[in-house]
Homo-oligomer: A and B are copies of this chain.
Amino acid sequence: MKLASLKTDHPDGKLVIVSHDQANCVDAIDIATNMQFALENWSSCSEALTARYLSLNDGLEKNAVAFTGQSTFAPLPRSWQWLDGSLFLNHGHLMQQAFHLDPIADADKFPLVYQGAGDSFLGAKDNIEVADLKHGIDFEGEFGVIVDAIPMGSSAAYALSRIRLVVLLNDISYRALGPREMKTGFGFVQAKGATAFAPVALTPDELGEHWKNGRVCLPLQVKRNGQFFGEPHGQEMHFGFHELIAHVAQTRPIKAGTVFGSGTVSNADPSKGQACISELRAKEMIQHGVGQTPFMQQDEVVSMNVTDANGQSLFGSIEQHVTVSDTSEKL
């Protein structure tokens, strides 16, 4: 099943079911007021949602309308908890090599994770509105999952069974601000912008054999201003999502609607490129002693997409322009 939230005046938007080919969508608000409600009531909602999805795919939904990713919020427009991992160890290895940092102890035993702002996610075509280009504007292509409630102390196996939706996201990062915050030990606050999501969330079954061991085993295509930037593959994720969730759930119960991110998708094979600028700069530093590729500037565009074997987009695409926030009205 495919779900999305159309933009409305309400911050939670309007829940719609999207057809398998993403050509059409149909209202689902009579089944679930919004995506958060659907997640909190999955056992009672999912059957009706699935029935309508099948009927939509068969062309039997009279109220179906054309679906365009232009007018979508994030599939879950805001979340009570957003926890972003860093589960592709290749990314960390490159950063450590480039910046001559000590390796993070036990990063292969305990998933790295920080808590981000889930109060207002961005839609797939929303601008990346930044305070200052000097902050080192970067994107990070990631996979994510949205879960049902999971009690404290649950196993990874149980967590896997509670993953309801898979998403594609852009974790917007301000690289000039990250190192100072990391050194404090308190994690990223100033260094992260609002996270953007591709229009469509998928139930894991939509991925077929590409959903394996709690990982999205597909390449994530990233372009900068329409040019190839990378297509790293999800299979090199060191921990599965279920292991990240169980790690967090060790000391806290997880509410329905909590979002978990994979961290920037990163592969050891250099021909795969990369899903963030800082990783390319790290490779340049290792090779040439200096990072050459600039971070994002005004009006630049980053796009992200994941396609199936037939070249069809699975989540719809992310396509975001950078704009500098108007500071003339600063308060």
Chain A interface mostly helix, strand, loop or mixed? Answer: loop
Specify which of A182, A183, A186, A192 lies most central, judged by the most chain B CB atoms within 10 Å of its CB.
A186
What are the interface flags for A105-144 relative to B under an 8 Å C-beta threshold, 1 for contact and 0 otherwise? 1110010111111111000000001110001000000000
Across the interface, which residues of B come within 8 angstroms of A188, CB to CB?
186-187
- Bound-state CA distance A188–B83 (Å) is 11
Across the interface, which residues of B come within 8 angstroms of A105, CB to CB?
180, 183
Across the interface, which residues of B come within 8 angstroms of A158, CB to CB?
331
Contact in complex: A130, B183 (CB < 8 Å): no
CB-nearest residue of chain B relative to A177? Answer: B251
Number of copies: 2
Specify which of A152, A193, A255, A331 lies most central, judged by the most chain B CB atoms within 10 Å of its CB.
A331
Contact in complex: A193, B255 (CB < 8 Å): no
A151 to chain B, nearest CB (A): 6
- Bound-state CA distance A180–B119 (Å) is 28
- Which of B83, B107, B174 is in CB contact (< 8 Å) with A251? B174
Contact in complex: B190, A251 (CB < 8 Å): yes
Among all A-B residue pairs, the 8 with the closest Cβ atoms: A187-B187, A182-B185, A80-B119, A158-B331, A114-B186, A115-B115, A81-B119, A154-B331
25 contacts between A and B (CB under 8 A): A80-B119, A80-B120, A81-B119, A83-B189, A86-B186, A104-B183, A105-B180, A105-B183, A110-B180, A112-B186, A113-B189, A114-B115, A115-B187, A117-B252, A130-B251, A151-B330, A154-B330, A155-B331, A182-B186, A186-B187, A187-B187, A190-B250, A190-B251, A190-B252, A194-B252
Binding site for B on A (CB under 8 A): 78, 80-81, 83, 86, 104-107, 110, 112-120, 129-131, 135, 150-155, 158, 174, 177, 180-194, 247-248, 250-253, 255, 258, 325, 327, 329-331
